[in-house]
């Protein structure tokens, strides 16, 4: 069951060719622990450029490219939508309507641009950290970033309430706060690192 859910998580959260089907999706929807487990896979893959004997700027750029190749642009699109909704004037219904709008506005561009700068600076720091704090620490930080991000998603799935019918409600509607125990246990190895 967990491996099926993990395949569903990787199929949903990444561009990896894992051959996900409806049974994998259904298992993933009901197993929030699959989020951080997928984070381990993503983190290990995106940390690979940090292991190569490359100049710091090249390793940082390759880290970002690998992150894009593994995860795609779905998260970037969601971030831009969130940025647009954050700056719109009006009530909650108006903000929700902006989330569904396919055009990107100034708020979305700003949110995405700032995030890209922060991510690039972080990648530059990680690539340079190999010489200062050790390669193991740099890889552990990259791994922790991905596992932590996916644990955050699992927390939203377990504690959140869907704003409307759609993809989010397919995940949130299937889970409860009880699922966070398995998520926390799955995160213990990266905390130990």
**Of 152 and 193, the one with more pLDDT:** 152
CB atoms within 10 A of CB 100: 10
Q: How far apart are CA 110 and CA 117, in angstroms?
A: 11
Name which residue leads in pLDDT, 170 or 144: 144
* Angstrom distance (rounded) from CA 2 to CA 30: 10
**Dihedral over Cα of 129, 135, 136, 140: its sign:** positive
Under 8 Å between Cβ of 12 and 21:
no
Q: How far apart are CA 20 and CA 2, in angstroms?
A: 14
Between helices 74-87 and 92-100, what is the axis angle to 10°?
A: 150
pTM of the predicted protein model: 0.86
Distance CA 17, CA 187 (A): 25
Residue 123, domain extent: 2-192
**pLDDT in the model for residue 59:** 87
Q: What is the pLDDT of residues 119-128, one digit of tens each?
A: 888 888 877 7
Q: Which of 34-48, 62-76, 166-180 has the lowest mean pLDDT?
A: 166-180
Crossing angle of helices 135-159 and 34-51, in 10° steps, is 160
Number of structural domains in the chain: 1
Contacts of residue 142, Cβ cutoff 8 Å, sequence gap at least 6: 43, 46, 47, 50, 63, 126
Q: What is the mean pLDDT of the chain?
A: 87
Distance CA 148, CA 187 (A): 8
């Amino acid at each position: 069951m967990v491996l099926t859910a993990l395949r569903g998580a990787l199929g949903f959260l990444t561009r990896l060719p894992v051959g996900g089907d409806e049974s994998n999706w259904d298992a993933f929807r009901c197993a929030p622990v699959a989020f951080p487990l997928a984070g381990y896979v993503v983190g290990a893959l995106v940390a690979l450029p940090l292991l190569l004997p490359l100049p710091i700027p090249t390793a940082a750029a390759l880290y970002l490219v690998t992150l894009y190749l593994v995860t795609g642009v779905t998260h970037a699109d969601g971030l831009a939508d969130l940025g647009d909704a954050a700056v719109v004037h009006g009530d909650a219904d108006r903000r929700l309507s902006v989330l569904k709008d396919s055009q990107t506005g100034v708020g979305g561009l700003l949110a995405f641009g700032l995030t890209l700068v922060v991510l690039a600076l972080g990648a530059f720091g990680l690539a340079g950290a190999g010489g200062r704090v050790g390669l193991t620490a740099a890889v552990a930080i990259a791994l922790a970033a991905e596992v932590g991000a996916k644990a955050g998603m699992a927390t939203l799935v377990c504690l959140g309430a869907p704003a409307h019918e759609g993809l989010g409600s397919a995940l949130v509607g299937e889970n409860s706060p009880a699922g966070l125990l398995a998520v926390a246990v799955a995160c213990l190895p990266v905390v130990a690192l």
